Amino acid sequence: MTFEYSTWLIIPSVAASAAASWWLYRNNPLRLEGKTGVVVQRILMGLRFVLLFIMALLLIGPVSERINERTQQPVLVIASDNSQSVAGSREAAYYKSNFQTELSEFKRILESDFEVVHYTFDEQLNTRSTPVYDGKITDISKALTQISNRYESAQLGGVVLISDGLYNRGDNPLYRSAGMAVPIFTVLMGDTVAPKDARIKNVRCNQVAFTGNNIAIQVDIAADNCAGQNAVLSISHNGKTLAQKNISYNGSSFFESHILTVPALGEGSQIYRISVSAVSGEKTTRNNVYEAYVNVISNRQRVLLLAFAPHPDLGALKKMIEATEGYSCEVQYINDPSDIKPADAYSLVVLHQLPGWRGEGQKLIEQFKNRNTPLLYVLGSMTGLNVLTALEPAFRIQFRNQASNEALANMNEQFGLFTLDETDKTVLAKFPPLLSPFATYSVAGDYEALLTQQIGYVKTNYPLWFFLKSATQRSAFICGEGIWRWHLADFQLNNQQTVTQLIQKTIQYLSTRKDNARFRLLFNNRYEENETVTADAEVYNESYETIKDADVRVVIKNSSGKEFSYALTAQQNRYTLNAGVLTPGKYTYTATATRGSEQLKTSGSFYLVPLQLEQTENVAYAQLMRELATQTAGTAVHAHNMNALAQTIQQHDALKPVVFAGKERKSWIDLKWIFYVLLALLTLEWGIRKWNGSV
């Protein structure tokens, strides 16, 4: 116990309490006689003394201290592989039945010493604890990352990774495990000896081709225990064979890459079927066939990247633009505009730091504007802001010098021209700042800001990335240079997906050819099998003004004729569809927008591409599993040795309970029971006085 004031004050407190008690009862105020009267008087005097002393003691401020100890068991996370590759192994029946019983016993043994948490994983970590082995993508690195993040502040003791070690998405798990400060115990599943099997290991080809061109398709063929046998590699389209090549397997472990050239046929999403003939005695023929989906389009949209001078942004922008299906990008500098012809059919012109301070590029930009060519301005230190204001009077910029601000990106949640998922929004907030001209920004007329500027900790209304709406021309502005920094940062944060998608959606919105259709429903040409099918729709009245109260519905039909009906949800100036995850194949759709007695219709098609990643490997990656355990001071065992692993984990030095000790301080004046003691003393004293005739 400690006191807020000097403990010497206890002595005068005792004296004062005793003196006050004696003074109150010194003359026998109750007029009691005999020995009983003396006893009662002394009791009353004692009660009053205790009452006054406790009250005086509370004024000195006594504080009690207590040491609390809490023992926390270490968390042991079990992560079970849920991928199809496990189900394709020779011991698949064992993994689905007896192994699950052994795993339950393994958890029961460890639950007395650890807080055991069980997950499954394929493309990501799942809360379901029992695997069904239907995952079409395996990302071990992502599963380890999610475990580390989920238990970052908890006492994570170790991880038990149950897998065949085969992964087809994400980084090498060894890179991720190097940053984990806990042991990883690996349990190897799958086949460690290669069965007799020939397979298509990998296929590489462009996802976009143009009518009249040829498509080069690289096919990697692997075979185990097929020495001396022959096979035929072929590529077909709509049942017609386009290319063939004979293959001779020489050696027990065979690998070759072949490049076959086929013509780009049809238009839209086309399926090219790649197959290698089976050999006698193969374990499975599922991996002998691969379907490549290619989007064949009639012409390519041209983008002109016109710059004031060489800049790191140009390479990043060109790379991201050309990653968009059907787009090509040409880089030109304003000091040599001889090859630039505004009459050319450019779908979009990106103006990097143009117009210049001396009006460089002004006349050329005016010619593009006269032809209603969509423009994307990227502002920087060399941009002539006064010239830009003359060209784009709706964008008003008041500046004093050529200084720059470091502007962070702040997402506008009300933006409605296109959608960004939550991952992109989170990543955008972590990007380094762009160098934005130091100025006061304002926009007149109809516009939508995707990003606004945040200067330090201050969120402003100044636009950083916005779109001007016009009946004749589409234009957008990025009010800062340094996109290349975003491109580099995105490599670490989201594998360069966020910035690329942001640029792609921007140029797609700007370069979309205007038509007179009053109802537009925008599906992607292709979706992956595990991808959610989403779409956006726009509805206009006869004056081409956005309608927000239409009833928009779509009927999606698969290749077997089964129909799925959906109603689109109105969001700001557009309608959105989330059809969930559909099975692979070709789909057609018919959509209607109804408002009053008027009904508008549109139709189209799209493909869901099947995922075939889990079929390309059939031998467990035992070396990876051993290295994961060795690198993290864990242990590697086979799936049949779960009991031995339980004993190893119990004896591991790093997995011990942690005792947390904390000091708790509490002032006595906050203790409720002291109030009740004082109340009891007062009540008792009053009762005795009342009983003995006190008024």
For the chain of 695 residues, list the mean pLDDT of each consecutive stretch of 10.
81 88 77 70 84 86 79 88 88 92 93 92 90 90 90 81 91 84 92 86 83 88 90 94 93 90 86 92 84 80 91 94 84 78 80 93 91 93 92 89 89 82 85 94 89 93 91 88 93 81 88 69 81 87 77 93 92 86 89 91 86 77 92 92 91 77 78 86 82 62
Provide CB contacts within 8 A for 506, sequence distance 6+: 376, 465, 476
Chain centroid to Cα 160, Å, comes to: 24
Decide: 261 and 243 in contact? Cβ < 8 Å. Answer: yes
pLDDT at 31: 67
Decide: 584 and 560 in contact? Cβ < 8 Å. Answer: no
pLDDT at 505: 87
Distances, alpha carbon 591 to alpha carbons 516, 525, 526, 594, 605, in Å: 17, 16, 18, 10, 11
Q: Where are the alpha helices (DSSP H) in 495-595?
A: 498-511
**Hey, what amino acid is at 291?**
E
Decide: 360 and 388 in contact? Cβ < 8 Å. Answer: no
680-695 burial string, b = 16+ CB within 10 Å, else e?
A: ebeeebeebbeeeeee
Residue 61 host element (H or E) = none
Give dist(CA 424, CA 483) in Å, integer.
15
Query: What's this model's pTM, rounded to 2 decimal places?
Result: 0.58
Give dist(CA 464, CA 486) in Å, integer.
14
pLDDT at 544: 65
Distances, alpha carbon 312 to alpha carbons 347, 428, 432, in Å: 23, 20, 15
Distances, alpha carbon 248 to alpha carbons 147, 227, 276, 577, in Å: 46, 8, 12, 50
Cis peptide before 355 (omega within 30 of 0): yes
DSSP state of 194: P
Decide: 86 and 618 in contact? Cβ < 8 Å. Answer: no
What is the CB neighbour count within 10 angstroms for residue 555?
14
pLDDT at 661: 66
Q: 350 pairs with which residues across the strands?
A: 305, 376
71-104 burial string, b = 16+ CB within 10 Å, else e?
A: eebbbbbbbbbbbbbbbbbeeeeebeeebeeebe
pLDDT in tens, 164-197: 999 988 888 998 887 788 999 999 998 888 888 8
pLDDT at 626: 93
pLDDT in tens, 214-239: 899 999 999 988 988 999 999 999 99
Decide: 331 and 317 in contact? Cβ < 8 Å. Answer: no
The 3-state DSSP class for residue 261 equals: strand
Q: 290 pairs with which residues across the strands?
A: 274
Give dist(CA 267, CA 265) in Å, integer.
7
pLDDT at 162: 95
pLDDT in tens, 103-160: 999 999 999 889 999 999 998 899 888 899 988 889 999 999 999 888 866 678 899 9
Q: 77 pairs with which residues across the strands?
A: 117, 159
Provide CB contacts within 8 A for 304, sequence distance 6+: 329, 330, 332, 340, 346, 348, 349, 350
What is the CB neighbour count within 10 angstroms for residue 431?
21
pLDDT at 343: 63
Q: What is the 3-state secondary structure (H, E, C) of 440-498?
A: EEEECCCEEEEEEEEECCEEEEEEEEEEECCCCCCEEEECCECHHHHHHHHHHHHCCCH
Give dist(CA 488, CA 501) in Å, integer.
14
Residue 516 host element (H or E) = none
- CA diameter of the chain: 128
Q: 114 pairs with which residues across the strands?
A: none
Total count of residues recorded for the chain: 695
pLDDT at 695: 42
